[in-house]
Amino acid sequence: MKPIQFTITKKIPNALGRAGVLETPHGTVQTPAFVSVGTKATVKGMTPEMLKDMGGQITLCNTYHLYLQPGDELIARAGGLHTFMGWNGPMMTDSGGFQVFSLGAAYGKGISKVLHPAEPSQQIPERSSADDGVPRLATVGNDGVSFRSHIDGSLHYITPEKSMEIQHNLGADLIFAFDECTSPTEERRYQEEALMRTHAWAKRSLEYHHARPNAERQALLGIVQGGRDEELRRRSAREISLMRSTGGAEFDGFGIGGSFEKDDLHSAVQWVNEELPEDKPRHLLGIGEPEDLFMGVENGVDLFDCVAPTRNARSTGTLYTKEGRMRIMNTKYREDFTPIESDCGCYTCTHFTRAYLAHLFHAKEMLGSMLASVHNLYFLTHLVDQMREAIIAGTFYELKESFMKSYAK
């Protein structure tokens, strides 16, 4: 018996997109779905009840952060992550690979999941070799990655086996094989070298996982890498999907990893999903802007996670609306007694006005971040829900067109 079951219920004709149902040991996820990110065992500013009320089906926590604080062994003794954080629904943990990347090759360069070369803080560096003078907290070797804690500077070493062990201790329903995330600016030779490591680590993750009883209750997803290179991306998708453990076990689903330039995202997702087997779930790691969600769903992605909605809400009071982003601290909202969006069904929009939210942000009140996070998470969760309903109703392209027309204006 496999820990998850995935069933496709409807497809977008002549495209990769599909709607489905993902059954996990902690409940069912209607896909495509937006996954709320609870980095340190909490979606920032929200109780599990607020998350459920918002319509959240599934949550992703970060292996790297929880390994360092409070420690995966402590969480295991607490009865696992579900019990520890009081979230009884479907849950996933990432591999830790992306955090190690952002401490290593990308450290100090402001490189994130998607590069916007127009923004000065995200200028793409010429190259990211080890001798470019930027101090690093992580070093990648063939056996694993050594890194220093961003909290106390202590030295740690993570191998594929260690990543599995941590994720077993955390006990999420869906876990990921350890991978190396590369910058899109790396040379092809490095991309290929890193990809070989990612594949070797995927194999070791698969072996370790399936030699343990956790394989019965935790699904292991393999991560496809390969940067912006079509040949590497396709090769990676094929190798990861064909990979088997000694006992013949295969991955229960797939993650599409990487740090992307905005323009490369579409092609990478398409290449990968053209290669992956249709009958297993696919997660696009760390991507979640509205336009990327439409692109992903259209091209066969089933799950998305992204910190942007809660981070944007908290840090600058930036709110998603169907007409684009709204900065709630703008003077014009101080006396605006309408909701963020009058037709939005979220708790924030059904109870509070823009003027009240503006006041909370100006007064630096915690409730401002809480209510803004609720709205932004609802917005993206509900947007993907609408895409799913549109796929089922056969109206995906109409939804996409009308949304993008309004959002881009």
Pick from 203, 182, 185: which is nearest to 138 by CA?
182
In the list 127, 188, 212, 362, the residue contacting a copy of itself (rule: CB under 8 A) is 362
Query: Is residue 371 close enough to count as binding a copy of itself by CB under 8 A?
Result: yes
Stretch that binds a copy of itself, among 21-29, 91-99, 359-367, 388-396 (CB under 8 A): 359-367
Of 53, 292, 305, 336, the active-site residue reads 305
Please give the DSSP secondary-structure letter assigned to residue 20.
Answer: E
In the list 10, 25, 367, 385, the residue contacting a copy of itself (rule: CB under 8 A) is 367
Nearest-10 crossing angle of helices 366-393, 290-298 = 30
Amino acid letter, residue 197: R
Closest approach, Cβ 94 to a copy of itself, in A, equals 17
Phi-psi region of 108 (alpha: psi -120 to 50; beta: other; left: phi over 0): left
Query: Is residue 155 close enough to count as binding a copy of itself by CB under 8 A?
Result: no
Query: Is residue 369 close enough to count as binding a copy of itself by CB under 8 A?
Result: yes
Closest approach, Cβ 63 to a copy of itself, in A, equals 15
Residues 59-98 that bind a copy of itself (CB under 8 A): 69-70, 74, 77-79, 84-86
The two counts, helices (H) then strands (E), for the chain are 15, 18
Closest approach, Cβ 288 to a copy of itself, in A, equals 20
Closest approach, Cβ 328 to a copy of itself, in A, equals 13
Interatomic CA distance for residues 7 and 170, integer angstroms: 26
Spatial CB neighbours of 283, under 8 Å, sequence gap ≥ 6: 35, 92, 174, 221, 253, 254, 255, 256, 301, 302, 303, 304, 305
- The DSSP string of 246-271 is TT----SEEEE---EEHHHHHHHHHH
Interatomic CA distance for residues 358 and 368, integer angstroms: 8
Q: Which two tokens stand for residue 369?
A: 């971040």
Amino acid letter, residue 273: N
Closest approach, Cβ 86 to a copy of itself, in A, equals 5
Query: Is residue 127 close enough to count as binding a copy of itself by CB under 8 A?
Result: no
- Catalytic: 173? no
Phi-psi region of 63 (alpha: psi -120 to 50; beta: other; left: phi over 0): alpha
Interatomic CA distance for residues 253 and 206, integer angstroms: 12
Q: Which is nearer to a copy of itself, 11 or 44 (CB)?
A: 44
Closest approach, Cβ 77 to a copy of itself, in A, equals 7
Amino acid letter, residue 233: R
Contact 358, 328 (CB under 8 A): yes
Q: Report the run of H or E that residue 182 belongs to, with start and end.
A: none
Closest approach, Cβ 93 to a copy of itself, in A, equals 16
Of 72, 94, 252, 264, the active-site residue reads 94
Amino acid letter, residue 170: L
Query: Is residue 403 close enough to count as binding a copy of itself by CB under 8 A?
Result: no
- Catalytic: 94? yes
Q: Which is nearer to a copy of itself, 88 or 406 (CB)?
A: 88
Query: Is residue 26 close enough to count as binding a copy of itself by CB under 8 A?
Result: no
SS3 156: strand
In the list 263, 279, 334, 406, the residue contacting a copy of itself (rule: CB under 8 A) is 334
Query: Is residue 338 close enough to count as binding a copy of itself by CB under 8 A?
Result: no
Stretch that binds a copy of itself, among 29-37, 48-56, 111-119, 125-133 (CB under 8 A): 48-56
Interatomic CA distance for residues 45 and 153, integer angstroms: 27
Residues 28-47 that bind a copy of itself (CB under 8 A): 40-42, 44-47
SS3 148: strand
Query: Is residue 366 close enough to count as binding a copy of itself by CB under 8 A?
Result: yes
Query: Is residue 315 close enough to count as binding a copy of itself by CB under 8 A?
Result: no
Active site residues: 94, 305
Binding site for a copy of itself (CB under 8 A): 40-42, 44-50, 69-70, 74, 77-79, 84-86, 334-335, 337, 347, 351-353, 355-356, 358-360, 362-363, 365-367, 369-371
